[in-house]
Amino acid sequence: MKIRGLAVFMVFSLAMGVSSVSAAKPPTPGSSCPKAGVTITSGKLKFTCVKKGKKNAWGSGVKTGTTSGATTQGADALSFKGAMIYDLKNSLLTRKASSGSYFETDSRSSSAFSAIRSKAYAELNRNPGSTSHPNVEFIYDVRPSYPKAMLEHSKRELEEAAAMWNDVFDSKITIQVSLVTEQDREYVKSNTWLQNNLPGIFSRFDNKSERPFVSGGGGYWQSNGQWSGNLYLATASYLDLSYVNYEWPEVAKHEFFHVVQQYSMAMTKRMDIDSRATSLRIQPQHFVEGSANTIGFLTGFRNLGWSSDAMDWLVWQRSNDAKNWMTVNSADDAIKMMTATETYQPNEAFEMSYAIGALMYEWVIGTYGRDGFIKLMNQFATANSFDEALQKSIGLTKSDFYAKAAPYVLSVFQATK
């Protein structure tokens, strides 16, 4: 960001239409400010003036250099708006920098990222690399066509996800896991769930008109009187890690979290979740896909820097795709989009639920910690609505939650333009 003038010239600069100035004393979040969009940098914090209802107010400070497309300064530098290519070394991710070299680490310190993102990442990575999950048993069905390069990585990611959420399961559960490709069309016909989801994905692989990707699905339900988890990862048999969709490292942990989400509603074996509408009333679309993205993006990469870049790419890419439907240029816009993504229709709402929801629940975890987030999920087994679950867990109504999360959501949307 280009600094224009000293603090003594702040009023003059704003009057001349300058939108970014430096200040010796930081503004108080929530206090009035002159014009939406104006920013002030004080020390290492950047404050943005946002419109709230009929007034303008300063948002929470975000550490400079947090998103905004700036690259790292070391040899591992990479812009999230460029190609993000990963490889595997001993089944662990490496990332290709702009220099063309692959790195296993990121040179940025946690101070380079917002306090919310740093806290959320730390909360979700308390025991990195742990694969101990006594309450979860996996039953794998790996098809011969599944890329060998991906197999060990996929399994390890699922094992780590199970360890991460082992404590939310009050008794041992089994999870049926299918690892398949487009070569397994006949095989999936024997599984109604897979047959309902995968043919369309397989056709996209056949066309080879886009980067191949890793697709997935996950859930927890009753079948023949038995409750169990179900999960699949599907990809192209010809997958090449040098030419693949950039978000693939997060998919396994994203899909495992769908098992956790549905388990949280079924803990009491409640049978009143008999329709999609009822389910969305308790877990809105932005929670279903958004919080799964929060978990996937903040735990599926090897460090905070890579996670942050991937999250920023997600917001940038989805907001560009949705610009003719809805944009986020103010806190009120952010609230409007949160409300619109409570459901999955129209398709733009479904697609944007992945991005705005990821930021919403990153804010929850960064504010209330993993424990607060689990308290929220624990309410889903008995709550009659999402609003009720929020109030009984973190003490916020849905409207309060949207209003409090909006400044952070807005800051990331603005920084990734």
Q: Domain coordinates of the chain in residue numbers?
A: 7-59
Using one digit for the tens of pLDDT, what is the confidence trace for 57-84?
777 666 554 443 343 457 898 999 999 9
């300058």: which residue's tokens? Answer: 18
What does the angle CA 255 – CA 259 – CA 264 come to, to the nearest 5 degrees?
140
Using one digit for the tens of pLDDT, what is the confidence trace for 209-249?
899 999 999 999 988 888 999 999 999 999 999 999 999 99
Sheet strand arrangement including 136-142: 136-142, 173-181, 226-235, 215-223
d(CA 409, CA 341): 14
Q: What pLDDT, on the 0 to 100 scale, is given for residue 2?
A: 34
Of 258, 166, 189, 169, the residue nearest 219 (C-alpha) = 258
CA dihedral 339→345→349→355, nearest 10 degrees, is 100
Count the neighbouring beta carbons within 10 Å of the beta carbon of residue 377: 21
Of 266, 154, 262, 275, the residue nearest 216 (C-alpha) = 154
Using one digit for the tens of pLDDT, what is the confidence trace for 338-349?
999 999 999 999
Q: Which residues of 234-268 are buried (b: 16+ CB within 10 A; e: fewer)?
A: bbbbebebeebebbbbbbbbbbbbbbbbbbbbbbe
| Under 8 Å between Cβ of 294 and 365 | yes
Digitized pLDDT (tens) for each residue of the chain, 417 residues in all:
333 333 332 332 333 333 445 555 678 777 888 776 666 766 666 677 776 666 777 776 665 544 433 434 578 989 999 999 999 999 899 999 999 999 999 999 999 999 999 999 999 999 999 999 999 999 999 999 999 989 999 999 999 999 999 999 999 999 999 999 999 999 999 999 999 999 999 999 998 989 999 999 999 998 888 899 999 999 999 999 999 999 999 999 999 999 999 999 886 555 555 677 888 999 999 999 999 999 999 999 999 999 999 999 999 999 999 999 999 999 999 999 999 999 999 999 999 999 999 999 999 999 999 999 999 999 999 999 999 999 999 999 999 999 999 999 999 999 999
d(CA 352, CA 337): 8
Give the end-to-end CA distance of the chain in Å, rounded to a whole number: 14
Using DSSP, state whether 176 is helix, strand or coil. Answer: strand
Backbone dihedral region for residue 65 (phi beyond 0: left; psi -120 to 50: alpha; all else: beta):
left
